[in-house]
Amino acid sequence: MGPARRLDELTGAAHAVFPGGHVGCVERPEEFAVRLLAALRP
């Protein structure tokens, strides 16, 4: 359950960064990674 829950948290963060988006449908993974890291930063 740990890894699955972590994935859910990352997916939630991704939705916060890309409203209406989906993790599997990111056109530019490097840009997605930068935005995701920025969103997760405390």
Q: What is the pLDDT of residues 1-42, one digit of tens each?
A: 566 667 667 666 665 555 555 555 556 677 777 888 888 887
Q: Taking Cα atoms as reference points, which of 4, 5, 3, 23 lies closest to residue 15?
A: 23
What pLDDT was estimated at residue 16?
58
- Distance CA(21)–CA(5), nearest Å, equals 19
**Residue 15 domain boundaries:** 2-40
What are the tokens at 17?
């960064």
Buried b / exposed e over 3-16, threshold 16 CB at 10 Å, is eeeeeeeeeebbee
What pLDDT was estimated at residue 33?
78
Q: State the pTM of this model.
A: 0.34
Question: Tokens 């930063």 map to which residue?
Answer: 41
User: Cβ atoms within 10 A of the Cβ of 30, count?
Assistant: 8
What pLDDT was estimated at residue 22?
53
State the total domains in the chain: 1
What pLDDT was estimated at residue 31?
76
